[in-house]
Structure 1
């Protein structure tokens, strides 16, 4: 993998190399927002895998268009809520899925894109509440409760892996295949 002085890996160039070296047939590939690029999505699909790619503010035009449209349309979108209790906290995730992608000009080149997913998450610990909204792009067209299940699966796998690794491969029911857990940040 390409390295910079000091031995660190240059993630933007290492991610496509890693994806290219793996057998992804029937696997779900989740990668940190740094990999939310059309070329990575195409490579994953070319290797017969599927993806939810995290979309962050660094993808300026796309993030802005997606966040504005999803917020404006969320009342009419299919959604599902999941609540987790445990370890003195309450976590809620409401997942919205948009599969009519015709109005998203900035995503016109994403040939395999099937859904845009928005997750509004809140966490209550004692008297403190934090919340955030996350977005991802996926080639899959799933119901909101299925995407919510993917988020839950990622969160459970993450603590068991060393923090510097930022790639995740997950087997998924509609995509039968090997299950390999690495690190995920979405």
Structure 2
């Protein structure tokens, strides 16, 4: 396997060490870290052990000709990588291996890395805001913020980095801001924003507009599972009057509501109304698909990172390590998803990759060469 294509995107990251003291090239250590993460390794010692176990394979690629560094060296080198440079490489790589279909849904949401805080300051926990392409389950990009409230500033920064032309960008109520809506439209995309109490006048107006449509319907979607019964209804309508009354919401075309009625295993009932605005002209079917699709960032990204990759349990925090490893986990998950020859769970693919370097190569090649239409 040639790693030239991988090197094309990630070898440009600058090494901050003194050149005379470099025994292990930064690219070698980064490539090892990515491969070890693909194979399910979680900490510095795991990465060192993975490298020792697969040293012959790595040396066949021209890497680690002096052997594998100890885990402290791996930690020190990875922690010194400049996050902005890594982010730039990640984005260019994803733009090269993904082609958006018109109307593709990109969900944006934040996640806390619960064990990433500095042990002297529990307020320093890392918070990542990610953009997730729901059709094939890959991360398009991510930015760091130190506080959930700062998602309002992190979301525009992330959108600015992405190619969203022709895409529908869904964001929860935290991102329901006129500036964010304007930015999405100006970059050639459409927005689908949840509306809650942080936009009180808009929320009341949307509720009032949709009130005549909201009624009990025998055609609602009914789901059974996890010990509960859930029924959902979706309504949309044009937003011409609202667009006049709220001119700051650029290109506003559609308002909608998702209604969910649930009976849990104890017989307790709940009824929830979730309101949305969009710059796209949405049918009820497309609206329902997008609303359901947005929550895939929780089920197919955040849940997998926590349950399969143990992200919340990772206590690495020194330097830039937590942010870089979060990006590496996103890279590994993307590659595992892009490899489609094996119909298996992410965890099973990781185990196969740890035991079989031929399959590991296949996963890496899928991440390098796979042009996947979203």
Paired position in structure 2 for 1:131: 271
Distance 2:206 2:163 in 1: 31
Q: Deviations over 1:71-114 (max 9, x none)?
A: 2x2259xxx63222222222211111120421565422323111
Q: Aligned partners of 2:167 and 2:239: how far apart in 1?
A: 24
Secondary structure of 1:102 counterpart: helix
CA distance in 2, matches of 1:107, 1:19: 23
Contact kept? 2:243, 2:249, Cα under 8 Å: no
Specify the SS of the correspondent of 1:132: strand
8 Å contact kept, 1:29–1:50: yes
Matched-pair contact (CA < 8 Å) for 1:82–1:148: no
Aligned residues: 161
Please name the residue that 1:63 is paired with: 203
In 1, distance between residues paired with 2:280 and 2:246?
Answer: 15
How far has the Cα of 1:33 moved from its partner? 0.7
Larger Rg: 2
Q: Secondary structure at the match of 1:147?
A: helix
* Aligned equivalent of 1:13: 153
Q: Match of 2:224?
A: 85
Q: Higher strand fraction: Structure 1 or Structure 2?
A: 1
Distance 1:6 1:100, change over 3 A: closer
Aligned Cα RMSD in Å?
2.7
Q: In structure 2, do the counterparts of structure 1 residues 103 and 22 end up closer, same or farther at CA, with 3 Å as the change threshold?
A: closer
Query: C-alpha distance in 1, partners of 2:300/2:280?
Result: 26
Contact 2:231–2:260 (CA under 8 A) maintained in structure 1: yes
Determine the C-alpha separation between the residues in 2 that align with 1:142 and 1:103: 16
Alignment of 1:1-186 (within 5 A): 6=124, 8-9=146-147, 10-71=150-211, 73-74=212-213, 81-103=220-242, 106-126=245-265, 127-162=267-302, 179=374
Closer, same or farther: CA 112–136 of 1 in aligned 2, 3 Å = same
Residue pair 2:155, 2:175 contacting (<8 A) in 1 also: yes
Moved more, 81-90 or 27-36: 81-90
Q: What TM-score, normalized by structure 1, do the two folds share? A: 0.74
**C-alpha distance in structure 2 between counterparts of 1:6 and 1:105, whole Å:** 43
Structure 2: gaps of 5 or more residues: 1-83, 85-122, 126-145, 304-311, 313-371
- For residues 178 and 57 of structure 1, the distance between their equivalents in structure 2, rounded to whole angstroms, comes to 37
Q: Which has the higher helix share?
A: 2
- 1:172 is matched with none
Would the alpha carbon gap of residues 122 and 56 (structure 1) be closer, same or farther in structure 2, given more than 3 Å must change?
same
Match of 1:173? none
Distance 1:35 1:111, change over 3 A: same
Q: What's the TM-score once normalised by structure 2's chain length?
A: 0.39
